[in-house]
Amino acid sequence: MTLANVFSKTIRDRWMGWAITAVSLTLFLLFGMSVYREIDLTIYTSLPEAFRSLVGIGDDIDVGGLAINVVFGTWGGLVVAAIALVMGASAIAGEERDGTMGILLSNPKSRTFVLLSKAGSLLMLVAVATVAVWATVHPIAAVLGVEIAGLDVEALSLHLFVNALFYGMLATAIGAMTGNRGMATGVTTAIMAVSFFAVGFLPLVEGGDGLLKFLPWYYFDGSDPATNGVAWGHIALLVSASVILLVASIIGFNRRDLKGQSVGTTMLDRVRGNPVLNRLIGRLAGSARVSSIWVKTMSDYQTLLLITSVVMFLMMGVMMGPMYASIPEETLTAFDQLPEQLIALFGGGDLSTPEGWYTFETFGFMAPVAVIVVTVVMGGGALAGEESRRTMSLLLACPISRNRIVIEKAVPMVLFAFAVGFATFAGVALGSLAAGLGMSVGNIAATAVLQSLIGLVFGSLALALSAATGRTSISIYGAIGAALFFHLFNSFGELNDGLADLGWLTPFSYYLGNEPLVNGMDWANAAVLAALSVVLIGLSFVLFERRDIRQQG
């Protein structure tokens, strides 16, 4: 692949993530419409104005409007913008981090050409993903018999596209001007998160409306495009801001010295610069170059951990307590209308209790998804990622064994799994305390530990696949596919007499099977999940030791 095809190569490298995003949102929309048409919508319309404002639920919203505003608008806007900002942050700073920017610029192409190629691929993928999701809305509604004739889905899609493009360009600009992918991702994510929550809550604060126009998210759905059509002024402002950010990217990138992989002085570097401390570190940790592999691995994935932890702590933890407490008692009985299959899919439980509510909203689905995403991405990229970046041979050229590399890649995955679990525990415990729900802190902690362990099972599977194949795509998608299969098998197997006896075969039966939020820790279940992770990590040692290292990405 030549440099003249930076545009197409970037699309080739990134299309899979966008395809998964589009398919996931489509399935989410299909699932949302099919569920919402079976229940009494007063469950949602009776929520406090603060929560309805945050996710775009109106007083007289119908099934189609609820599904499109919540699934396509709110969550779709967040997901597409998040994928765009990650891609934008990696466009320039990611190449520098991987040490490939020098190779790109050694060809007869300018920095401007490289940056425009990256920006063009971002624009193309955002557009294609948006169109792909939009194209499914009307067919899904028709098949399910859901009325959406009064909704301007095209206008919402256009706003979603421009909104995601803005955050992608913001991350691109920060990355191009600083060469720091972590800063680009972190700053852009913070701006998006603050803007999202502020747009939802500021209208409820006296005088807060005047601040909305300073928030980027306001120009995505502040005009309610699904109801009122395209707000061309808002579109023009986001497009103009994106163009300005692109120009800033070009200027900043052209004027800045490039960072190599080894550029930048960390605190660890300064400590090693001291002869006495360097000798001490050498005695404690062996080779200085080897001792930092796990630190670098943690640094590579710290942004993913931060985003996931914030979502689990704030949105799926703290907010869920007051939301439950604010639901009128008579409305709680409406939860009995939820289909049995839906309750099983989200972990089961009695939705009239705080424990059942948190099982359904947080621990049944979102909590395992969050920790599995973190561990699978880390496990899949642990060994195969080094090979795809052609850095594995450099590691193995040092006096370090393959087993040591596996250990130093597995340790951060374990630590991050429990970090996500702790964020979830802290959020749920604080939400229960703030709302006066009286949930057992010990039981919340037990459930969070099991959440971390179920994530480690599939992260360890990804690590084993990475060690066996050397291919990131096979490792990540294989582990995610296995997680999805076992989750569905566990959820719906309980409703099928023929499959109920086989529930012990799925790791998810050892996660919430004992209802830990109600009954506390089942140490036997925890031991099974821990043992599965240990076996898979142990298998990684064997597979990696016996395989020839791939030299091509």
User: How far, in Å, are 58, 139, 243, 283, 336 from residue 119 at the CA level?
Assistant: 36, 32, 11, 47, 49
| CA gap 17, 135 in Å, rounded | 19
Residue 336 has pLDDT above 80, yes or no: no
Instruction: Give the pLDDT of residue 40.
Output: 54
Domain assignments of the chain as residue spans, ordered by start: 1-262, 265-291, 301-553
| CA gap 491, 368 in Å, rounded | 13
43 contacts 335 by C-beta, under 8 angstroms:
yes
Lowest mean pLDDT among 195-204, 337-346, 352-361, 496-505: 337-346
For 214, list phi and psi in degrees, rounded to 5: -90, 0
* Chain segment 530-542, per-residue pLDDT in tens: 999 999 999 988 8
Binned at pLDDT 50, 70 and 90, residue 166 comes out as: very high
* Chain segment 88-105, per-residue pLDDT in tens: 988 888 777 766 777 677
Instruction: Give the pLDDT of residue 391.
Output: 63
Instruction: Give the pLDDT of residue 282.
Output: 47
Residue 526 has pLDDT above 70, yes or no: yes
| CA gap 180, 116 in Å, rounded | 19
* Chain segment 237-284, per-residue pLDDT in tens: 999 999 999 999 999 988 887 765 444 444 444 444 555 545 544 443
Question: Tokens 């700053």 sit at which residue?
Answer: 187
Please tell me the total number of residues recorded for the chain in this structure: 553
Q: Of 407, 417, 388, 390, which is closest to residue 301 (Cα–Cα)? A: 417
Average pLDDT along the chain = 78
| CA gap 71, 137 in Å, rounded | 11
* Chain segment 171-198, per-residue pLDDT in tens: 999 999 988 877 888 788 878 877 877 7
Helix (H, G, I), strand (E, B) or coil at 436: coil
Q: Is the pLDDT higher at 369 or at 433?
A: 433
Token representation of residue 216: 């980027």
Average pLDDT over every residue of 494-502: 56
Lowest mean pLDDT among 109-118, 366-375, 388-397: 388-397
Instruction: Give the pLDDT of residue 183.
Output: 81
Residue 392 has pLDDT above 70, yes or no: no
How many alpha carbons lie under 13 Å from residue 128 in its C-beta half-sphere?
Answer: 16
Binned at pLDDT 50, 70 and 90, residue 77 comes out as: confident
Q: Which long-range contacts (CB under 8 A, 24 or more apart) does 126-129 make?
A: 126/18, 126/80, 126/84, 126/161, 126/164, 126/165, 126/168, 127/161, 128/18, 129/18, 129/19, 129/21, 129/22, 129/80, 129/83
If phi > 0 it is left, if psi is from -120 to 50 it is alpha, else beta; for residue 259 that is beta
462 contacts 373 by C-beta, under 8 angstroms:
no
Token representation of residue 272: 């090693």
| CA gap 499, 515 in Å, rounded | 20
Q: Cα angle vertex 463, ends 545, 18, to 5°?
A: 135
Contacts of 278 (CB under 8 A, 6+ apart): 271, 272, 288
Contacts of 92 (CB under 8 A, 6+ apart): 101, 114, 115, 118, 172, 175, 176, 179, 249, 253
* Chain segment 33-45, per-residue pLDDT in tens: 776 665 555 555 5
Q: Of 239, 53, 57, 68, which is closest to residue 162 (Cα–Cα)? A: 239
Instruction: Give the pLDDT of residue 264.
Output: 43
Token representation of residue 543: 């597979």
Residue 285 has pLDDT above 60, yes or no: no
Residue 334 has pLDDT above 70, yes or no: no
Residue 399 has pLDDT above 70, yes or no: no
Instruction: Give the pLDDT of residue 533.
Output: 94
| CA gap 429, 318 in Å, rounded | 8
Residue 374 has pLDDT above 60, yes or no: yes
Taken in order 401, 403, 408, 409, the sign of the CA dihedral is positive
Residue 508 is which amino acid? F
